[in-house]
Amino acid sequence: MLEQSPVTSQAPQQLKTNDDRIPHIEPLFEDATFVSEYSRLTKRYAGPDYEPILKYTLAQLKEVEQPRILELGPGPGWIGITLAKRRKDARVTGVDISSTYVEIANQNAAHEGVDDRVDFRKGDACRLEDFPDGSMDAVISNQSFHYWEPPENVLREVVRVLKPNGVFCIGDDRRDLTFMASLIVMLTKWFLTANVRESWMRSLQGSFTSKEVQAILEHSDLHGHAEVKLYPRMFFVQGRLKK
Ligand SMILES: C[S@@+](CC[C@H](N)C(=O)[O-])C[C@H]1O[C@@H](n2cnc3c(N)ncnc32)[C@H](O)[C@@H]1O
């Protein structure tokens, strides 16, 4: 949750071999106390983590009027809310599997004065049947990819709901942290509450390595459309749909 710079655009930089992946199922995502702590802490500290998605999406949508943006796994909703504040003509819809997160995200949108253009609803990113083919100018997501069962199903839905030439930017933590990122994680985690810290550690153990992300991408409908951008602690699958 601290400022990061890209390390490379393609080749994985694995400074250390990490343990096996342990898929992360987080029961606290429906716990009101946890979700409210996460909302407060991410509002205070996660701004720099959110910037790569915000900057990329806003730059790519410069020429698009009244862009329709879909956010997958928005949690407390800060990315969609910030997008709507920076692009006054954008409409953002967030789909999250946790009703507790949906409730707090809608409260956050109202509190920030953007609930006329931002709404969050309950749903599974693997099945976006409420969203017609070719209806979105952009699909974005942060730190949700490794919860999708499997990610390829969501990437198929991303391709389906995007308009031709639509923009996507999907970021998540990577398990193959660089040495510097491991140090940053060790320091940052002590700014968090115990519950959020422990959930983040489980989340990191459940995240993918950059090589695993490349393999998932190659077997997905986004293959040939996307580049993987690596940061010390995160990856971003981003690009435009060539259809
Ligand atoms: C670690 S939180 C990240 C929240 C937010 N994107 C952020 O960066 O602060 C992961 C979010 O993904 C959501 N999620 C997990 N699986 C999902 C799925 N299949 N469909 C939609 N949302 C999902 C969780 O409920 C949670 O809100």
Residue bearing the bigger pLDDT, 51 or 1: 51
**pLDDT category, 18, cuts 50, 70, 90?**
low
Q: Please state the separation of Cα 101 from the chain's center in Å.
A: 14
What is the per-residue pLDDT across 67-103, written as a single tens digit (0 to 9) for each? 999 999 999 999 999 999 999 999 999 999 999 999 9
The structural domain count of the chain equals: 1
| pLDDT exceeds cutoff 50 at 12 | no
Q: Which residues pair with 229 in a beta bridge?
A: 236
What distance in angstroms lies between residue 195's CA and the mean position of ligand 1's atoms?
16
What distance in angstroms lies between residue 33's CA and the mean position of ligand 1's atoms?
16
Please give the pLDDT value at position 96: 98
Is 181 part of a structural domain of the chain? no
CATH code, 35: 3.40.50.150
Does the CB atom of residue 56 touch ligand 1 within 6 A? no
E strand spans, the chain = 68-72, 91-96, 118-122, 136-142, 162-173, 226-230, 234-240
Residue 139: give the domain boundaries: 27-174+210-240
CA nearest ligand 1 atom 17, residue: 97
Does the CB atom of residue 29 touch ligand 1 within 6 A? yes
Q: pTM value?
A: 0.93
| pLDDT exceeds cutoff 70 at 64 | yes
Residue bearing the bigger pLDDT, 118 or 7: 118
What is the per-residue pLDDT across 33-46, written as a single tens digit (0 to 9) for each? 999 999 999 999 99
- Please enumerate in sequence order all residues whose Cβ is within 8 A of that of 34, keeping only pairs 6 or more positions apart, or say none: 28, 195, 196, 199
CA nearest ligand 1 atom 1, residue: 143
